[in-house]
Amino acid sequence: MRSLPLSLLALSFGLAACGAPSSVATSPAPSTAVSAPPRRSEPLVASPARQLPAVTLAEAPKNWQLLDESTDNVPGISSERAMKELLAGKQPKRTVLVAIIDNGIDTAHVDLKANLWTDPNTRLHGWNFIGGKDGKDVNFDTFEVTRQYARCHGGKAAAGGAPVLTDTALCAQIDADYNKQRTELESNVGTYRQINDVYSKIVPLLQKAAHVSTADSLTADRVRAVVPASPMETQARQIYLELASEGATPAVIADGLTTLEGQLKYSLNPDYNPRTIVGDNYADPNQRDYGNSDVMGPDAKHGSHVAGIIGAVRGNGIGIDGIAPAVKFMMIRTVPNGDERDKDVANAIRYAADHGAQIISMSFGKPYSPYKAAVDDAVKYADAKGILMVHAAGNDGADLANGKNFPTATYAAGGHPTNWIEVGASSWKGGDSLAATFSNYGQQQVDVFAPGVDILSTIPGNQYERDSGTSMAAPVVSGLAALLMDFYPTLSAADIKKIIMSSVTNASTQMVIKPGSKTERVPFGTLSITGGIVNAYNAVKMAQQLSNEKPRP
């Protein structure tokens, strides 16, 4: 599933820290999971390890993911430096098509609409596999663990016609995961309600002090400029700025609370089944002729944010600049508020492959995959077509060597896709906070890290918002891949993957706080295969060299 933007919020005024509200767990998966050999299959070009010092700024720069550590003192991916120093005066040689498998996209957003892909035959911008032929759409759906729980306990609605599970040990594990999910979600709802209540008290006070008429007009800069006239204003100012520094704006908290409460009501309900809206034969994983053309859906916030990171229109003086200068988005709506379903994921990957995508960006995940074989077949199909697949590692602060975040780069029958990159999230704060506290990791399961904390990007209604998650880190890598493909069209997906992994900013020896821990420090190199942060400047230089060496077809 897509995670809420707030990942881990430590509040100094007494609220407990809250983990990312997500259904991604670290428990063992059903029998579809297999122990996998290491995925390191080719030598990496080793660069000297560097130390990325702590950043002294009070908050992340607007476009920090594009910045360069050596020139801007922020550990971004150096894409702006690459554009200015290495690609200045050069024009992209093609426009790259990126398929975004997500919850929808705002087709009218001023920073996105020019880059929407349109199918020349149907005039559609993509497809919606969680909608019905009558135009209705799924919003909330169950978690996958809820669907498996229903299979164990006869909850036919959520199970959707899937066969009953009779494996006692497996059902015991599913029960434990289901109960853990409910406990965590109830705790997160309580924390968000507390924060929301705090905001209801301090925002009116700060509005008056900052001389703004609406709560929406209250920004961190305006609150920072307030000169408190009373102890209450002093405390309100301090709390607001502390929350804002963690990405917990009033809008983020309100939206997050709405999503969490909906998940508590629907996503953990074994008798809830929105699949009747879709109208497919859910028990048939090979069925493909269902859905509708509504690529926006009822909640396009997450997909719009992902799209903006990859390729919001550059140089238009509006909002933000995406990473790739010549890109088109194909939106494939597959991810509800809840967990995506394997059947839809498989069909989304096939749709992207059949309609010419060069990159598939996937910012979702779940701990169970009952129809993994169908997803594996789709991944093999895309891999054989030379499509680069980029997937977010998940937001549980967990070691993926001990858990799963499906889809994975390991086939149930053994083996791995060639053109797959698994992405963890890094923070702008550098130093021992270089790894995002929420990011999943794995020395043989995660390929690279990329910026994923406080990323400003597009959201519906021509608006912009900072969000955090590996959901943001994956499109950073997708954007970098598209940038390379823009200028070096002779390079294959396998070439692009090798370049991205070989050109990282090597921080392997840097001691960082281990994700999911408050104090434990580990070498950054133990968290991924490369031990580094993706680096566009290095990647462009390497792509230029490889392109010169590679004969044109």
Residue 72 sits in a domain whose CATH number is 3.40.50.200
> What is d(CA 421, CA 398) in angstroms, rounded to the nearest whole number?
18
Is there a single domain that holds both residue 110 and residue 251?
A: no
Domain boundary among 273, 297, 325: 273
> What is d(CA 69, CA 320) in angstroms, rounded to the nearest whole number?
20
Quick check: is 408 in a domain?
yes
pLDDT value, residue 550: 77
pLDDT value, residue 17: 28
Query: How far, rounded to the nearest angstrom, does the alpha carbon of residue 327 sit from its chain's CA centroid?
Result: 19
Query: How far, rounded to the nearest angstrom, does the alpha carbon of residue 412 sit from its chain's CA centroid?
Result: 24
Is there a single domain that holds both residue 522 and residue 413?
A: yes
> What is d(CA 453, CA 440) in angstroms, rounded to the nearest whole number?
14
- With CA atoms as reference, report the closest residue to 348 among 162, 132, 108, 103: 103
The torsion region of residue 161 among left (phi > 0), alpha (psi -120 to 50) and beta comes to left
Is there a single domain that holds both residue 507 and residue 376?
A: yes
> What is d(CA 529, CA 501) in angstroms, rounded to the nearest whole number?
9
pLDDT value, residue 157: 66
Largest CA distance in the chain: 72
Tens place of pLDDT for every residue, the chain, 553 residues? Answer: 554 434 433 333 333 323 333 333 333 333 333 334 445 444 455 588 999 999 999 889 999 999 999 999 999 999 999 999 999 999 999 999 999 999 999 999 999 999 999 999 999 999 999 999 999 999 999 999 999 999 999 876 666 777 889 999 999 999 999 999 999 999 999 999 999 999 999 999 999 999 999 988 899 999 999 999 999 999 999 999 999 887 788 988 999 999 999 999 999 999 999 999 999 998 899 999 999 999 999 999 999 999 999 999 999 999 999 999 999 999 999 999 999 999 999 999 999 999 999 999 999 999 999 999 999 999 999 999 999 999 999 999 999 999 899 999 999 999 999 999 999 999 999 999 999 999 999 999 999 999 999 999 999 999 999 999 999 999 999 999 999 999 999 999 999 999 999 999 999 999 999 999 999 999 999 999 999 999 999 999 999 999 998 766 6
Cα Rg for the chain, rounded, in angstroms? 22
Is there a single domain that holds both residue 126 and residue 151?
A: no
> What is d(CA 79, CA 280) in angstroms, rounded to the nearest whole number?
43
Is there a single domain that holds both residue 257 and residue 125?
A: no
Is there a single domain that holds both residue 437 and residue 331?
A: yes
> What is d(CA 353, CA 381) in angstroms, rounded to the nearest whole number?
8
The helix (H) or strand (E) run that includes residue 458 is strand 455-459
Per-residue DSSP letters for 90-131?
---SSPEEEEEEES---TT-TTTGGGB---TTT--SEEETTB
Structural domain span for residue 196: 1-30+142-273
Find out whether 20 and 478 touch, Cβ atoms under 8 Å. Answer: no
Is there a single domain that holds both residue 448 and residue 315?
A: yes
Give the end-to-end CA distance of the chain in Å, rounded to a whole number.
Answer: 40
Is there a single domain that holds both residue 218 and residue 75?
A: no
Interacting residues of 330 by C-beta distance below 8 A, sequence separation 6+ = 97, 98, 99, 100, 117, 125, 126, 352, 355, 357
Q: Does this model's pTM top 0.95? A: no
> What is d(CA 171, CA 226) in angstroms, rounded to the nearest whole number?
56
Q: Is the bond preceding 553 in cis, omega lying within 30 degrees of 0?
A: no
Is there a single domain that holds both residue 225 and residue 335?
A: no
> What is d(CA 515, CA 365) in angstroms, rounded to the nearest whole number?
18
How many domains would you assign to the chain? 2
Domain boundary among 273, 293, 320: 273
Quick check: is 37 in a domain?
no
The helix (H) or strand (E) run that includes residue 529 is none
Quick check: is 492 in a domain?
yes
Is there a single domain that holds both residue 226 and residue 322?
A: no
pLDDT value, residue 6: 42
Quick check: is 55 in a domain?
no
Quick check: is 383 in a domain?
yes
Amino acid identity, position 170: L
Is there a single domain that holds both residue 121 and residue 203?
A: no
Quick check: is 46 in a domain?
no
Is there a single domain that holds both residue 381 and residue 445?
A: yes
